[in-house]
Amino acid sequence: MTINYPTNDDSQETGEITALKLEKDTLTQQVKRLIKAEGNLYKYQEELDAQLKEYKDLYELSRKIYATLDIRRIFEHTIQYVINNLEYERVLFFQPEEDLGGYTVCAIDGYYDGQEKDNVAGLTIFQDDPLLLPLLAGREYLICKTDSDDKDVQEYRARFLMSEYLIYPLGSRERPLALLVVGNSPENAEFHRRVSDDETALLGMGNLVGLLSSAVENHFLYADRKNALEHERLAEEKYRGIFENALEGILQTTPEGRFLSCNPATAAILGYSSPAELIESIPTIAQLYVSPQRRQEMYALLRKKRDVKNFEVEMYRKDGGKQWVLVSTRPIFNEMDEIIYVDGIIQDISERKRAEDAIQELNEELEQRVIDRTKELVATNLDLRDVTSQLESAYSELKATQSRMLQQEKMASIGQLAAGVAHEINNPMGFIISNLNSLKKYIDKVTGFIKIQSESVERLSGNGVIHDILKDLNEQKKSLKIDYILGDLDNLIKESLDGAERVKKIVQELKSFSRLDESDIKMADINEGLESTINIIWNELKYNTTVKKEYGNIPQANCNLGQLNQVFMNILVNAAHAIESQGEITVRTSSDEDNIYISISDTGTGIPADKLNRIFEPFYTTKEVGKGTGLGLSIAYDIVKKHNGEIRLESEVGKGTTFTIIVPISQG
């Protein structure tokens, strides 16, 4: 077995190769480390760049927000920083809303859907919301990550429309001056800075919030101070204005009465041109009091630490005149209970005083006048009561009269119409009757002649030709019913004459009823009046009534028969209406030396005793509504009364009623 040992050359080469391989391996490892180091370098460089940019941007932001005291501008700059530099998607600022007792959205960005923005812009986080409790307890921030399971922060995901968010309170006061919320929606979170509790990740927000808190606090401090100064200025201005322009005098004096200050109104009330003149001219206010006693009284009260209000004092004016003023004062005490100075207000009440005197005088005068006037009024009142009663009575009478006149007017119109119609019918009826009489005579003559002619012709019947003619004539005579016509002609004319006579009679009765062709009062036959009235209203009577006429032999009476006919008509119609089925009306007339008596009796229902004395009242009716006016008997009563007559009435329920009209024969 041969063992080959390496030569020196071989071993040298092998050694070099080994060394080279080692070197290569070393170099390879160095390259690997270099590549890694370079990768890390780039990574750190990128992070450093990002951090530097963040600090640079934060610096820019600080410059911007410290350059303004407008909180809205501060929020706007911050929002731009959060979105563009910190690269959170959405930002909300809340500010306290005292009225609501919570925080409301005051600045917003990152919501690019209008509906989403509107929803979030209306958010309110109430002061007692569990979300805020940790922050109010001093926690630096609240975080809601995508995997957070805290119920309170989870609930706000939907309200903020963020799947992850951070809330920071701004300002170091117990109650945050504002809340800053930053975060991302679930859809876009991957393209924005993620919400993380990693220290580095929170550093950016921490820096921002530190800066912002300070700026917001400064803003509010400045705003508070500015407001306080402004309030002070306004208050000073307001009170200065009140002091200078008040109508009341405002003054301040030492306890001894030396003026410390006073306003223009004080000077004016006391007749001085300016406060300075008053202060210089009056060493002590005591000399202004007309009654020094009043001042002592007032100071006695002040020393008892009592405010004096509306203390009436008379003071001297600059011109020596006197001036009533109303003084209200308040003493200011030092620690030793000594009065340091006295504040006072004086009001010019001279006008009031004058007015009070005038009012007093006027009151006295008025009281006397009231007493006198009361007496007059009592008397007048009594008179008035009588007059009122009379007026009421007159009014009732007037009303009744008016109604009666209307009814009479209506009746007169009807009468006038009837008379007119009667007049127009009367004349034609005259010649109709006359013509019918003439026609009757002519027919008699023509009938006689025809009879004679027929007999003569009959005698010619022997001649053959004539026989034929006669035959034709007889046939014609029969077919034309000439014999019947000749016989009936007489009846027709007779009936026509009867009808015409009846029309003539009715027309005459109408005329007689209305009597319009006669003067108001004249001698007239009352029986005739009754007859014509019954004929006129016969249609009203004939169905249930038998009219029994018992006319006496009475003289003519001096009367307005037309009006009396109206009386008869009203009573007769009432009588017919009082008869329910069939009955009887009896009309009687009689007379004595002075009067005509017309009685109309019916066998109707009769009038109850309690109604007897009312039936002549206007508008009183026992008939159904709409059937009677209640004026008929009232008018009848008036007409008879005008004739100086009277109407008497007897009635028994179930038996009937009798009206007796008494008319003087002559109207004296």
Residues that bind other proteins (CB under 8 A): 24, 27-29, 31-32, 34-36, 38-40, 42-43, 45-46, 49, 53, 83-84, 87, 89, 109-110, 112, 188, 190-192
CB nearer to other proteins: give 12 or 28.
Answer: 28
Min separation Cβ 168 and other proteins, Å: 21
Nearer to other proteins, 195 or 576 (CB): 195
Of 46 and 501, the one with the shorter C-beta distance to other proteins is 46
What is the nearest approach in angstroms of other proteins to the Cβ of residue 227?
36
Token representation of residue 20: 């080279």
Closest distance to other proteins from the beta carbon of 74 (Å): 20
- Minimum distance of other proteins from residue 112's CB (angstroms): 5
Which amino acid is it at 528? E
Q: Measured from the CB of residue 192, what is the shortest distance to other proteins in angstroms?
A: 7
Going 353 to 354 to 359 to 364, the CA torsion angle's sign is positive
Pick 32 or 451: Cβ nearer other proteins = 32
Q: Are 566 and 636 in contact (CB under 8 A)?
A: yes
Tokens of 298: 């007032």
Q: Which is nearer to other proteins, 92 or 510 (CB)?
A: 92
Long-range CB pairs of 301-309 (<8 Å, 24+ gap) are 302/329, 302/331, 302/339, 302/342, 303/331, 303/339, 305/331, 305/333, 307/331
Q: Give the nearer residue to other proteins in terms of CB position, either 28 or 389.
A: 28
Minimum distance of other proteins from residue 33's CB (angstroms): 9
d(CA 352, CA 349): 5
By C-alpha distance, which of 569, 574, 581 is closest to 544? 581
Q: CA Rg, the chain, in Å?
A: 67
SS3 of the chain: helix, strand, coil, percent, to 5: 55, 20, 25
Residues in the chain: 668
User: Cβ of residue 100: shortest distance to other proteins, in angstroms?
Assistant: 30
Q: How far is the CB of 26 from other proteins (least distance, A)?
A: 12
Question: Of all helices (H) and strands (E), which one includes residue 205?
Answer: helix 199-245
Q: What minimum distance in Å lies between the beta carbon of 32 and other proteins?
A: 5
Q: Residue 643 in contact with residue 560, Cβ under 8 Å?
A: yes
- Closer residue to other proteins (CB): 47 or 409: 47
How does DSSP assign 418-483, residue by residue? Answer: HHHHHHHHHHHHHHHHHHHHHHHHHHHHHHHHHHHHHHHHHTTTTSHHHHHHHHHHHHHHHHTTHH
Rounded Cα gap, residues 252 and 265, in angstroms: 13
* Cα→Cα distances 427→130, 204, 322, 413, 422, Å: 118, 132, 110, 22, 9
The distance of closest approach from Cβ of residue 118 to other proteins in the complex, given in angstroms and rounded to an integer, is: 16
In the structure encoding, which two tokens stand for residue 162, read together?
A: 């963020």
Rounded least distance, CB 93 to other proteins, Å = 17
Residue 160 Cβ, how far from other proteins at the closest point, in Å?
Answer: 17
Please, which residue, 112 or 484, has the CB nearer to other proteins? 112
Min separation Cβ 92 and other proteins, Å: 15
The residue among 34 and 473 lying less far from other proteins, judged by its C-beta, is 34
Cβ-based nearer residue to other proteins, 38 or 365: 38
CA angle 436, 438, 440 (to 5 degrees): 70
Q: Which is nearer to other proteins, 27 or 417 (CB)?
A: 27
DSSP 225: H
CA distances from 627 to 35, 403, 571 (A): 131, 16, 15
* Strands 178-184 and 90-97, sheet pairing: antiparallel
Shortest distance in whole angstroms from residue 28 CB to other proteins: 6
Nearer to other proteins, 89 or 531 (CB): 89
Decide whether 53 or 139 has the Cβ nearer to other proteins: 53
What burial letters (b/e) apply to 601-619, b meaning 16+ CB within 10 Å? bbbbbbbeeeeeeebbebe
Sheet of 102-109, strands arranged across: 124-126, 102-109, 90-97, 178-184, 164-170, 142-144
108 vs 177 by CB, closer to other proteins? 108
Could you give the count of Cα atoms lying within 13 Å of 375 in the half-sphere of its Cβ? 5
Q: Give the residue with the Cβ less far from other proteins, 192 or 295.
A: 192
CA distance 318 to 124: 67
Q: How far is CA 227 from CA 172, 176, 223, 231, in A?
A: 20, 20, 6, 6
Map residue 118 onto helix, strand or coil.
Answer: helix
Least distance (Å) between residue 13 CB and other proteins: 20
Distance CA 337, CA 302 (A): 11
